Amino acid sequence: MGPPDPQRRFEEIYTAYYPDLLAYVRRRTDSPDDAADALAETFTTAWRRLADVPEGHAARLWLYGTARRVLANGHRAEGRRTELASRLRTELAVWADQAEETGHDPGGVREAFRRLSPDDRELLSLAGWEGLDSAEISTVLGCSRGAVRLRLHRARKRLARELDAAGLDLTRYGPRAVALAKGES
């Protein structure tokens, strides 16, 4: 008799203990999606560490322990996300108040920006706020540098047109903004 077939062993473990593990994670999560994620991560870990999964009924206990750790990691990550979101909301509120007080949005620059498509806003944000160059943006977006340069050029033209349509003095943003708004490039 040869060595045990790992796929067959995993399928046996999965089939035997899936219902028990599903019930375990569902009782400890708030949504079906969270339960599905925890269950998938538990069985992924079991597949990766199949040699560590004990034989027989002890496999069920090993899976419970793994699911418990997966759930704990998920709760910690959710706590960090909540804390980060709270911190960001506070910082954005302060930033918005400062912008309002100092007039950083004269005539509606932010509104012109918001009228752009989400893709244009993302491109312009990556270039302007994050300070990324075309090569870096291409990595973030998963496309070629040429595509980024073309999309960025078009997004800048659309922003310049929105600013012009809002009646803003584009000379304040430089001659390139004026040229882009007029369709020159």
Q: How high is the pLDDT of residue 110?
A: 78
Return d(Cα 185, Cα 182) in angstroms, integer: 9
| Residue 5 binned pLDDT confidence (cut-offs 50, 70, 90) | very high
- Is residue 38 within 8 Å of residue 66, measured between CB atoms? no
Tokens of 41: 């991560």
Taking the C-alpha atoms of residue 126 and residue 136, their distance in angstroms, rounded to an integer, is 9
**Mean pLDDT on 129-137:** 85
How many Cα neighbours within 13 Å face the side chain of 76? 6
Match 């090569």 to its residue by tokens.
135
- Segment 35-71, tens digit of pLDDT: 999 999 999 999 999 999 999 999 999 999 999 999 9
Domains in the chain and their CATH numbers? 6-81 (1.10.1740.10), 105-181 (1.10.10.10)
Average pLDDT score over the chain: 84
- The pLDDT score that the predictor gives to residue 60 is 96
- pTM beyond 0.75, yes or no: no
pLDDT of residue 159: 85
**pLDDT for 48:** 97
CA 85 and chain centroid, separation: 13
pLDDT(3) > 70: no
Looking at residues 14-35, what average pLDDT do you find? 94
- pLDDT for the residue numbered 99: 59
Task: Report the pLDDT value the prediction gives residue 53, as an integer from 0 to 100.
Answer: 96
Model confidence at 156: pLDDT above 90: no
Q: 154-163: long-range contacts (C-beta < 8 A, 24 or more apart)?
A: 154/120, 155/116, 155/119, 155/120, 155/123, 155/124, 156/124, 156/180, 157/181, 157/183, 157/185, 158/116, 158/120, 159/112, 159/113, 159/116, 159/120, 159/124, 162/112, 162/113, 162/115, 162/116, 163/109, 163/112
pLDDT tens by residue, 74-131: 888 888 878 877 777 777 677 666 656 655 555 577 788 888 999 998 988 888 888 8
